[in-house]
Amino acid sequence: MQINPTSVYPDWQSQNLTSLEAATIFAARDVLAMQSDITKNPQNLDYIDITQDEDAETITIAWKDIPVSLVDGAISIPDYFTDTFTAGTSSYPFNQVTRLGAAIHLWIFQKSIEVNSTYNDGEVLLDYSLDGSTTIGLPPLVFSGTATLPLVLSVQNGGTLSVGGEYLSGSLS
């Protein structure tokens, strides 16, 4: 599904993300980078796993038990990483204030598009759940999600570049 690359978060605009699928995968990779950086993740939180299969041209993403809350009926994701992220100023899903929130709301938004027959006549690839938390002192809900998504591979500067493959039709532009 085509998106306007200037509508994405300011921190991501240099990536020229032109599809919802590419933005969702980039956001997940961005969170993984934060998670892997001990200076930005001093608590050593482990909220996302990503594996890529270049032969199958797919990427598998698993979000794991991220504490979230409901605020005025909307999912609110605290800033668990110590990084700087410029809040989005576009309409949903590009209006979140944390990197993790941006990634999760892109995931939820893509799922809502994916189950709409106007945009998808194929299969449903994303899944997510909100469950009650069992940990005292954390927000009352946990977000989890999984997907195996298509990739488009290309050779660039002697290396392999992979971006999200489009499987949804239409445009948000």
pLDDT for the residue 5 = 87
- Strand, coil or helix: 145: strand
pLDDT on residue 93: 93
CA distances, 32 to each of 44, 45, 168 (Å): 12, 10, 24
First to last CA, the chain: 10
pTM to 2 decimal places: 0.93
Positions of the chain with pLDDT lower than 50, given as ranges: none
Closest CA to 68 of 130, 110, 126: 130
Classify the phi-psi angles of 73: left when phi > 0, otherwise alpha if psi is within -120 to 50, otherwise beta: left
- The pLDDT value given to residue 133: 86
- At 29, give phi and psi (nearest 5°): -65, -35
pLDDT value, residue 173: 64
User: Per-residue pLDDT tens for 24-68?
Assistant: 999 999 999 999 999 999 999 999 999 999 999 999 999 999 999
